Amino acid sequence: MKPSHPNRLFALLGLFLGALLPAFAAGTDSRISAVTVYADRAVVTRTATLDIAATGQQELVFNNLPATLVEQSLQVSGRGTAQVTILDVAAKATYLDFTPNDRVKTLEDELRGLEKQTRGLDDSGKLLDQQEQSLVRIEGALTAPPAKETPRASLDELAKLLAFLTSQRAQVSSDRAALDTQREALQAKIEAVQQQLNELRGAGGRSVKTVTVRIAAASTGQLDLALSYALPGAAWSPAYDARLRTDERAVELTYFGVVRNNTGEDWKAVALTLSTARPSMGGGAPELAPWIVDVMQARPMAAMRRDKMMMADEAAAPMQEFAGNFVAKAAAPAPRPIVEAATISAAVESTATSATFKIPVAVTLASDNSTQKVGITTFKLAANLQYQATPKVREAAFLSAYTTNTSDYPLLAGAMNTFLDGTFVATSQLKTVMSGEKFELALGADEGVAIKRKLVNRFTEDTGLTSSGRRTTYEVLVTVTNNKKTAERVVFKEGVPLSRDEKIVVKILTPAERDTGTKAAPKEVTMEEDGKLVWRLDLKPGEKREIPLKYSIEHPANLAVTGIE
């Protein structure tokens, strides 16, 4: 019988061992393909395409993940031609002697280059010190008495030497000033790079995490694996641009998400999703503890310290697990000649407790704690326009648009920039508005409607047969002018004094009581709570209205009264 070839035996042995033992764990090439950003964290999805060449148990290793990765949030899924069962996933901390982040390595190299430049400037400073010492020695030699054998220098030679010394000292002084300027600029660069390094390194320094996924392959083939995990250091907040077009009586509202990434991982061309969910608040309402009132008893200090430690342990709650499906959508706008640039619209998905906005274009955002504005959507809202004013406080008419959120998007509270017919006019805050809800947009002051307030008269007189009373009367004139080419509604408020004592009587003389409405039955001028008179005027183009207001305050002459202006 012919003996078996040694190579064939080794091959058979390898196949046998491969069927019994897990494959050798090697690093898995992966990329960040999708990110979901919440108000205080992000869920990152890494994807890897693998060729499963052998059956049996195997370990897939994801190296150099951020040390702040929340292990409880790890999720793994996969699909492909290979028949695979995911057994488990585990994470462990690893401490490295090298820089795992390319961006950190680039900054460290830049910092070393700047420090080298600093040493060069220090050497230049030493040379200037030597030059200055040489000049001092030359000056000392000139002023010292000459030796017997040394001829005395002429006045012309002395003048030339003094001129040389003066010019050299000026040059050294100028070079030193230039060197100080270069040092300051270089130090500013070093501090900026060092700050970026500190932010990227974080408290963990060079600590990273390694995630290992164990699988059991029943057949060979291709496997697309997705690993998702939560990271702190990311956030997003809403922002808006409101553009009022007065000729259309409509507001064009552009919805942005301001995203910040400080997770330790750069996001390159990822499918970005913004979520309104708040996982940090937990899944249910907190329990209400009993409110106990008892007689205070002295307790030992040891027991009080033990109670404080127990309360601190209970307050530390673990982060919840996350899972989500991430869908990347591509938008390919058709080219059109000389048209206004279009804006993107994110796909919105609403659930019972939150909404998500899927940005339709790939987003790139470095992990440097800077912010990036991504567009969510733009839509137009029909609006009723109205001017509001409080002329006693400020003689200006502020335009407001009253509208309804007819879009499918919930508008979260955030900063809003306001533009009136293409001109930036104000910055304000938008309150949370759900789909179908009515709301008001404050659009800033408009000089097209002028409002002026004048105190025409104020006088004080004694009342009663014995002059036992005192009356102070105010006469005010408010002038409103519509300088616009369209009819406008103007609402302004004036306050009259409120009495907190029956001895102090406030009387409104103008407008008359019969001409004043109430909230239940409003008129052109209506009395509202807290002594506020509200006028609602519909002004034609170019119309001017003068509104008089007159009231008095009466009280006993011997009564000291506060609040009278």
Kindly state whether residues 263 and 361 are assigned to the same domain. yes
Give me the pLDDT at residue 319, please: 38
Residues 544 and 500 in one domain: yes
- Burial label for 38, CB within 10 Å (0-12, 13-18, 19+), is buried
Residue 547 burial class via C-beta count within 10 angstroms: exposed 0-12, middle 13-18, buried 19 and up: buried
CA 116 – CA 110 distance, rounded (Å): 10
Under-70 pLDDT residues of the chain: 1-26, 96-101, 143, 146-151, 153, 200-206, 280-284, 298-345, 347-353
**Measuring CA to CA, how many Å separate 12 from each of 4, 17, 23, 377, 511?**
11, 9, 16, 62, 107
Structure tokens at 216: 């059991």
Do 356 and 409 have their domain in common?
yes
Handedness of CA 409, 414, 417, 420 (dihedral sign): positive
Q: Give a yes or no: residue 288 inside a domain.
A: no
- Could you tell me if 435 and 465 lie in one domain? no
Could you tell me if 116 and 195 lie in one domain? yes
Q: Is residue 299 in some structural domain?
A: no
Place of tokens 């006993």: 556
Torsion of CA 402, 406, 412, 415, to 10 degrees: -50
Q: Are residues 330 and 435 in the same domain?
A: yes
Query: Are 349 and 482 found together in one domain?
Result: no
Query: Kindly report the CA angle at 400 between 527 and 490, in degrees rounded to 5?
Result: 45
Q: What are phi and psi of 354, to 5 degrees?
A: -160, 175
pLDDT at 288: 83
- Domain finish residue from 381, 414, 445: 445
Residues 178 and 42 in one domain: no
| Residue 45 CB-density burial (10 A; 0-12 exposed, 13-18 middle, 19+ buried) | buried
Nearest-angstrom CA–CA distance, 206 and 100: 8
Question: Domain of 253?
Answer: 234-278+321-445
In a domain, 90, yes or no: yes
pLDDT value at position 502? 92
What whole-number distance in Å separates Cα of residue 302 and Cα of residue 318?
A: 28
Query: What is the tens place of the pLDDT at every residue in 458-472?
Result: 999 998 877 889 999
Domain shared by 137 and 240, yes or no:
no
CATH number at residue 78: 2.60.40
Q: Are residues 330 and 240 in the same domain?
A: yes
Task: Check residue 17 and give its pLDDT.
Answer: 42
The total of structural domains in the chain comes to: 4
Pair (61, 210) in one structural domain:
yes
Residue 197's CB is within 10 A of a number of other CB atoms, namely 15
Q: Is residue 515 part of a domain?
A: yes
- CB contact at 8 A, 404 and 380: no
Whole-prediction pTM: 0.61
Give the CA radius of gyration of the chain: 39
Q: Is residue 131 part of a domain?
A: yes
Does residue 3 lie within any of the structural domains? no
Domain's final residue, options 418, 445, 472: 445
Q: Output the pLDDT for position 505.
A: 93
pLDDT digits (tens, 9 = 90+) for 202-248: 544 568 899 999 999 999 999 999 999 999 999 999 999 999 887 88
Residues 423, 337 share a domain: yes
Select from 196, 185, 206 the least CA-distant residue to 109.
196
**Cβ 52 vs Cβ 79: under 8 Å:** no
Can you give the pLDDT at residue 318?
Answer: 39
429, part of any domain = yes
Final residue in a domain of this structure, among 445, 462, 488: 445
Tracing tokens 């049996």 back to the chain, one arrives at 56
269's torsion region: left (phi>0), alpha (psi -120 to 50) or beta?
left
Q: Among candidates 77, 12, 87, which has minimal Cα distance to 57? A: 87
Inside any domain, residue 4: no
